Structure 1
Amino acid sequence: MRVEHWHTKPWWEKGIDILVGSIWVVYAALYLSQAWMTRSWANGGLFLFYTLVAFLFIFRRPARRRARWWQTALALGDAIWPVVWLRPTGHGVWLGTLLQGGAMLIMLMATLSLGWSFGIAPADRGLQTRGLYRWVRHPLYAGELLFYLGYCTSHPSWHNLVGMGVSLLLVWFRMRWEEAIIQGYEGYARRVPWRLVPGVW
């Protein structure tokens, strides 16, 4: 992947991208440490995911349009919220582990499909319709929600269910904001009617 657009970004935008991207670097390092200590493939998968997120976030394409500041703040909060809030309650069950494994695969594929258009807050960095985006309009959110479902299945508690509920609500808002801000989205929505699950919604 080529990154000529990196040189066209103003210095302040590069600084913000590096600063926020460093959060994902810290996440990746923490999950790598956990994977090493626990020999957990789930933590290893999250290490790969957050490493990819950090790289694409730092070198992402400049935005043509941006969301309002409070929408950006809520989107960033939603990205950080589950990591801070969710708590393990035991060793997990096989169904939850299976759901998390499938979710991480979807998340990695969706992030790769976005490429340099990846972002956390709603913004227009170009409409992406390749990869998983040929089948649903928000595959990354679908993967994230499936991961939370798998986590809550493995670690059931009211605490975790509340966290998942908050994330579900924020994801719904984030989808609507993105659909309103990205140029050409109306035509894309007509071609790909499903937001999260093909044939369902």
Structure 2
Amino acid sequence: MVAAGVGAERRTGAYWRDLVFGRVLPALFFSLFVADQVLQLSETFQSARTFSDYLFVLRQVLALSYFTMLVVLYSTRLPQRGTDHRLGVILVAFTGTFSALLGTFLPGGERREWLVLPGDILATIGLIYSVWGLAYLRRSFSITPEARRLVTGGPYRLSRHPVYLGEIATAIGVNLATAGWPGALALVYFVGAELLRMRWEEGVLAKAFPADYPAYADRVPRYFPNPFRAGSKS
């Protein structure tokens, strides 16, 4: 009876830690980005006149969708089936994730007008791909490497990491025309962190789904979508 009581107490403690640090705080944090996107969207939509303006509005709508989905998904995440919570992994995952956001606040270089439109298009495509990935990943989303369920449909039929690839494309597109050296370094760190997160996440998934993940990884490329060769690797 004592052992059972201790176990229940431990489960209760784990439950509250997951609720506060794994759900509520992340959801509240990303809610700030939702509010910011709503304010920006209301301003830019009223002043939109050109194609670039409306493309920027579309990008903000996608960003609003992205952050709104993060709030909902963090609040309703499925239980973990596997994790990699080594300190170094956690640090790289979080610092890498937010280095892309940091890059937009760092001192910029000279504005390269000829790269503005390509950057906007790349960022828009990246956001579309990320939102599409989140729509299939749903309640399995996490920043640190964790396994909840094996997702193989939608964009996950084309690439093992569509959300990460979309985020990389978005970050490059946003910074393409204006980034100075500080922003470029932050972007390089972000891309490196994303690549590491892909590898770590695959290790967690392989352990959590030993019967299914190896076949999926053999069938679907890690990086770039290749619908013409279903069994190719990259």
Same fold (TM over 0.5): yes
Amino acid in structure 2 at the alignment position of 1:76:
F
Q: Which runs of 4+ in 1 moved over 4 A?
A: 88-92
Aligned partners of 1:107 and 1:144 also within 8 Å = yes
Equivalent residue runs for 1:181-200 within 5 Å: 181-182=204-205, 183-184=208-209, 185-192=213-220, 194-199=221-226
1:143 to 148, 154, 166: 166
Which of these two proteins has the greater Rg computed from alpha carbons?
A: 2
> How many pairs were matched up?
192
User: What secondary structure does 1:13 align onto?
Assistant: helix
8 Å CA contact 1:46–1:104 kept in 2: the answer is: yes
Query: In the alignment, what sits opposite 2:177?
Result: 154
Matched residue SS, 2:176 = helix
Structure 2: segments with no counterpart, 5+ residues: 1-13, 46-55, 227-232
How far apart in 1 are the matches of 2:116 and 2:92? 32
- Distance (Å, rounded) in 1 between the aligned partners of 2:187 and 2:163: 16
Q: Is the 8 A contact 1:100 1:151 kept in 2?
A: yes
The alignment status of 1:12 with 2:17, answered yes or no, reads: yes
1:50-96 deviations in Å (ceiling 9; x for gaps): 01111101111011121124212321222222112324665771111
TM-score by length of 1: 0.87
Q: Deviations over 1:102-146 (max 9, x none)?
A: 111101000011011111110111111111001110011110111
Over the aligned positions, Cα root-mean-square deviation in angstroms equals: 2.0
Return the match for 1:38 from 44, 55, 60: 44
Q: Percent of aligned pairs with the same residue?
A: 24
| Alignment correspondent of 2:188 | 165
Which residue number corresponds to residue 5 of structure 1? none
Paired residue for 1:128, among 151, 156, 176? 151
Aligned to 2:4: none
Q: Unpaired runs of 5+ in structure 1?
A: 1-8
TM-score, with normalisation over the residues of structure 2? 0.75
